[in-house]
A and B are shown apart, each in its own frame.
Chain A
Amino acid sequence: MVTGANGFTLISLLHLKSVYPDTNLTRIILRMDPTIEVNERVDMVVLYKKHADMSTLALPYKMRWKGREITFTQLGLRHPTAKGKRMIHVFDVSDGIDDYRLEFDAERLTWQLIAVIPGGSS
């Protein structure tokens, strides 16, 4: 069995690439960046708080992705960015184990899971 960096085997890398074609395997093989790029639309439950500061006014609460329900327990950072003229709100959240990068497109009103950083990566 060929075992690469981060404990990935050749088969698991190929599987990863087939499931998440956007993922840059070179980065994983070189042990640099554990990010798995997903870029998929997801179902989302969001909490909108009446009284909160800007950074926690809207909080992703729960996501359904690949048949799994993932509940977020921690907000890392929220920051705005732009894609052309479209305003995008980036939410970096965690379910206590893995980190997820979510993007809310304020024009199209869509939620997208951009990437996952597995918690065990080091």
Chain B
Amino acid sequence: MSNRQYNLNRENPSIMWIDLNSAFATAEQQAHPSLRGKPMGVTNRLSKECCVIAASYEAKALGIKVGCRRTEAMAKCPEFIMLETDPPKYHHVYEKLATIMKSYTHSVKMKSIDEGILDFHGTQLEGKTDELVRIGHEIKDRVRTEIGDYMKINVGIGPNRFLAKTAAGLHKPDGLDVIDHSNLIDVYESLELQDLTGIADGYGSRLRAHGIFTPIDFLNASEEILKRHVFRSINGHYWYQRLRGYEIDDYESNLGMVGRQWVVKNPTNNDAYLRSCLHYLAETTGMKLRFRNVEARGVCVWLSFTAGGGFVDKRMYKVPCYSNQDIWERVSRLFDNRPAHMSVRTIGLYLYKLEPSSKSQMDLFGIEQNKRFLTQAVDEINDFYGVFTVYSADTMEGKKHVTQKIPFGGTEYFNLLLARK
């Protein structure tokens, strides 16, 4: 079948995908030359059973991947080195990478802590493949000179996000590839079905059950088959378009919830200690909520116990909350319902049913307005003088124990830090 019969998108590529390799591990190897070329990883808190949240290329080559437990990693490689995460270091690298990317186009979207997209549509560079390749090489050079000589990135260029990301994964750890209508079939022929982004075990099994074993089989499948039989949803149409280079992934996903959790340092049922830590988590969650400019109607508190099992309580309110006081009042009420004799191992809360902030609305007696002014004033003081310059006295104990750790995947934490500058 010819390229034209596949109905491929013949538009010249205008999307560039940047992927910083094993971001946290590479940042540590950049900082510590003695760790370069060695199997190493980082974890949030070192303990006997901690797990790897980023592994170096050398570790990945030995089968040590993200999520691998320490004992498993040590069994695979007794020389494996594990460091604790250093958030200010990664924040610095993230900020530098974002600055470099933003100097080429106004449309930059950080997809995760180590991945971002540059969209050149609507710029003078739209569809100019040679120019984009030149910029790709320039970004690679700038990352080496402005962040560090050990930092390597993969650059992928394509007509849509899916193909740009696929291109970025072709020659890790230091590749630059272009996929467009002219080489798309060749690239698909060189890949396995589950090499495609978004096709993991679940979709892989579903496709194989319908006789689709390779990316070329996938491309040959009709839209009708994908929609009605394989995916049995609109996803079939999306995949049909995506595989051909048409953009269907350019959307903002809605924020579903914000929250925090913490593995209790010394598991206990001590009410004052747990309450103070939970209050601290509630205040940081409030900070995240206001940063996203949303309010929450739903509140959930959950615990896991050392003896096994757990506790979950949630409640939906008519009036949304946004201030630290309101959030804590609601969280505290739910926390009161727990079985108090149980020793707590993990403690967490999240706020859901988020809606846009209604800051502009006036209330009849001005009480709400005063609360808003107070919250805003405290946030401004904390923004200026540093987080938790002003905080509830009740959280003092919690503040000593709970530390900010690196969340998997999202860029929210780093964006929060950048916004504070």
Contacts and interface: CB of A to CB of B under 8 A. Distances in A.
B28 to A, nearest CB: 9
Interface stretch (B31-39, B253-261, B282-290, B364-372): B31-39
Contact of A80 (B35, B79, B84, B88): B88
B173 interface: no
B345 interface: no
A11 interface: no
B34 A81 contact: no
A81 B88 contact: yes
Contacts of A84: 386
Contact of B148 (A34, A53, A77): A77
Interface residues of A, number: 31
A31 B385 contact: no
B386 A121 contact: no
Q: Is the interface of B mostly helix, strand, loop or mixed?
A: helix
A78 B54 CA distance: 21
Contact of A79 (B46, B48, B81, B89): B89
Contacts of B34: 94, 97-99, 117-119, 121
B88 A94 contact: no
B146 interface: yes
B148 A30 contact: no
Contact of B82 (A32, A53, A76, A80): A32
Contacts of B30: 76-77
B27 interface: yes
A32 B31 CA distance: 18
B152 interface: no
Given A76-B32, A79-B88, A94-B33, A121 B46 contact: no
B70 interface: yes
A77 B28 CA distance: 9
Contacts of A117: 32, 34-35
B146 A53 contact: yes
Contacts of B386: 82, 84-85
A69 B30 CA distance: 24
Nearest to A75: B148
B41 to A, nearest CB: 10
Contacts of B93: 79
Interface string A79-122: 11110110000101010011101000000000000000111011
Most chain A CB within 10 A, of B34, B46, B78, B82, is at B34
A82 B70 CA distance: 31
B418 to A, nearest CB: 13
A23 interface: no
B225 interface: no
B83 interface: yes
B92 interface: yes
Contacts of B89: 77, 79, 90
A27 interface: yes
Contacts of A101: 31
A35 B83 contact: yes
A33 B83 CA distance: 5
Interface of A: 24, 27, 30-35, 53, 55, 74, 76-77, 79-82, 84-85, 90, 92, 94, 97-99, 101, 117-119, 121-122
Interface of B: 27, 30-35, 38, 46, 48, 70, 74, 78-84, 88-89, 91-93, 145-148, 385-386
